[in-house]
Structure 1
Amino acid sequence: MIKSMTGFGKYVVQLPAKKVTVEIKSLNSKSIDLNARMPQGYREKELELRKLIANSLLRGKVDFSLYIEYTGDETSAQVNESVVKQYMKQLKSIADGDDIKLLEMALRFPDTMKTDKEDIDETEYEAIKEALNGALVEINQFREEEGSVLEQDFIERITSLLALLDMVKNIDPERQDTIRERLEKAVQDLKVEVDENRFEQELIYYLEKYDITEEKVRLANHLDYFSKTLKSEDSNGKKLGFISQEIGREINTIGSKANYAPMQQLVVQMKDELEKIKEQMLNVL
């Protein structure tokens, strides 16, 4: 089973006077790259929350957002009058405008609201962790669903590569005969006497250089290993990436040894399928 690194999760917990909302979204990345957005008063818990997210998501470019909305009558937030007035004064020196318009503009700037620093009580922090765990469950489900789509695409690509490999195997004897005929004709065109035994030895040596038996066997093994790794319990994006590199190495070698247009055409198709696998592989956990 594989997972995608793309996902989204959201979870809300309602307290008597506050609503806690956690949103998490992720994209592909080589490692865990976490960006956290949360109210300043809750930063003391950031490291612990980061650790929970990293342990669950493992890899990806992750955006974590914590929103605290006051739903009761009481609020600890107040307008920072001195800051707002200073913003309005500076705006008025730049352009004329009525006070209401300047006030609307000033309130959009940083530090216009101040909050009395209060310790996060245990009940509220448990609610935050509950919301975080709920969002992590959702994003992991999203990743699994995306992963199943990717897995099906990989299966189709590997099946196509196996079919192309069978075609390579089928035309290989014809390729070898064509190369032999080409060499024999080249010698005949020289119109010189040659030692038949020596020529046969050189011909065998030359044909061995273009032999792709080992490449065909290794490529078949790599394709089989890729399919088995897809079915493993854990998502192994990096491992699958390494296997796809080995697949590419064998395909390239077959192409360099082919020396036969029909086989080279098959190699081009194989490279195209592998390139699509590699593009999708970037998003696998």
Structure 2
Amino acid sequence: MKSMTGYAALDRDGRRWEIRSVNARGLDLRLRLPDVAGLEPPVRAAVAGVAVRGNITLALRLSDSGAGAARLDPAGLDRALAALAEVEARADLPLAPVTAADILSLRGVWEAGETAPPALAVLTADLADLVAAFAADRAREGAALHALLAARVDEIESLTDAAAGLAPARAAHQAEALHAALGRLTGAAMDDARIASEIAALAIKSDITEEVERLRTHVAAARALLGEDAPVGRRLDFLTQEFNREANTLCSKSGMPELTTIGLDLKAAIDRLREQVQNVE
């Protein structure tokens, strides 16, 4: 299992790489790259190879600290000297002495040294290491997330068992409800068939056997998904909706304060599970 959140950085010879990701419904890759021909396709392919979901930002900054030293520009020097000679000729009188340092301080005499961008092969080698570190970070986050999710599923199973354990108490409670209903019905002008039908409907309405069994089935499905070595976030998210549907029905059928309390605790546990599932790839 991998988390959708992750971070990695790489510093090499004036090259600063960073990649980070947060939750997203799909894969949203945002690149901030220098103008290096052919770099974007391998970057996209490398990230897609380790991530299927997440809002991912990858940036590469090239430092100018390695720029070449400034060099004297012969053509610029010639232009500066010609300009000084023209000024002196037009002034028609000798100007103050001009030193070499004065001339070298003039604009255009020097040209900045330029450093070629790193070769594509160098950058793709960096990229492989960066993406590997990023994938490892997401895997570490995923391992911690797996433990949290497993604990939430255990909590849901425990509450489901507690709900099922109320069966004897609920049977007595239902018997009392049925006797009360029977007393009301026999006092009215109703035939025996109608009375039997009403009692059966009341018994079916208050039975939670199916909800308990479906909750247990969902617990087994959640554990199976947690055991898969593949992206399972979307399927887990769907499963939390199914959990919540059964918990809602359980509460609506409760009829007992004790079962209502369990149902509410169950809904809270499912909500905590859903919050963590949003981080799963």
Q: Normalized against structure 1, the TM-score is what?
A: 0.75
Greater C-alpha radius of gyration: 2
Cα shift readout 1:140-166 (whole Å, capped 9, x = no counterpart): 111111111111111111111111111
Alignment of 1:7-86 (within 5 A): 7-14=6-13, 19-39=14-34, 41-42=35-36, 44-72=38-66, 74=68
Q: Residue type matched to 2:173 in 1?
A: T
User: Root-mean-square deviation (CA), in Å?
Assistant: 2.6
CA distance in 2 between partners of 1:115 and 1:195 (Å): 105
Name structure 2 gaps, 5 residues minimum: 71-111
SS at match of 2:10: strand
SS at match of 1:283: coil
Q: 1:133 aligns with which of 128, 137, 144?
A: 128
The answer on whether the counterparts of 2:4 and 2:22 sit within 8 Å (CA) in structure 1 is yes
SS at match of 1:181: helix
CA distance in 1 between partners of 2:38 and 2:115 (Å): 12
CA distance in 2 between partners of 1:206 and 1:259 (Å): 12
- Give the corresponding residue for 1:5: 4
Measured at CA, do residues 73 and 178 of structure 1 come closer, stay the same or move farther in structure 2, by a change above 3 Å?
closer
The answer on whether the counterparts of 1:180 and 1:203 sit within 8 Å (CA) in structure 2 is no
Q: Residue type matched to 1:280 in 2?
A: Q
The answer on whether the counterparts of 2:19 and 2:59 sit within 8 Å (CA) in structure 1 is yes
CA distance in 2 between partners of 1:117 and 1:278 (Å): 52
Alignment of 1:154-173 (within 5 A): 154-173=149-168
CA distance in 1 between partners of 2:63 and 2:11 (Å): 11
CA distance in 2 between partners of 1:202 and 1:186 (Å): 9
Equivalent pairs counted in the alignment come to 239
Q: Residue type matched to 1:148 in 2?
A: A
CA distance in 1 between partners of 2:41 and 2:250 (Å): 51
CA distance in 2 between partners of 1:159 and 1:272 (Å): 14
Whether 1:144 and 2:143 are equivalent positions in the alignment is no
CA distance in 2 between partners of 1:115 and 1:37 (Å): 25
- Give the corresponding residue for 1:254: 250
Whether 1:199 and 2:199 are equivalent positions in the alignment is no
The answer on whether the counterparts of 1:13 and 1:127 sit within 8 Å (CA) in structure 2 is no
SS at match of 1:24: strand
Whether 1:224 and 2:220 are equivalent positions in the alignment is yes
SS at match of 1:276: helix
Q: Residue type matched to 2:276 in 1?
A: Q
- Give the corresponding residue for 2:205: 209
CA distance in 2 between partners of 1:65 and 1:204 (Å): 67
SS at match of 2:49: helix
How far off its partner does 1:173 sit?
Answer: 3.2
SS at match of 1:35: strand
Q: Normalized against structure 2, the TM-score is what?
A: 0.76
CA distance in 2 between partners of 1:189 and 1:75 (Å): 102
Cα shift readout 1:218-269 (whole Å, capped 9, x = no counterpart): 1101101101110112231111112222111211121222222211110100
Cα shift readout 1:154-205 (whole Å, capped 9, x = no counterpart): 1111111111111111113322431331342355368826666753442122
Name structure 1 gaps, 5 residues minimum: 77-113
CA distance in 2 between partners of 1:190 and 1:228 (Å): 49
The answer on whether the counterparts of 2:66 and 2:115 sit within 8 Å (CA) in structure 1 is no
- Give the corresponding residue for 2:231: 235
How far off its partner does 1:115 sit?
Answer: 10
CA distance in 1 between partners of 2:274 and 2:42 (Å): 35
CA distance in 1 between partners of 2:37 and 2:69 (Å): 19
CA distance in 2 between partners of 1:34 and 1:232 (Å): 25
SS at match of 2:39: helix
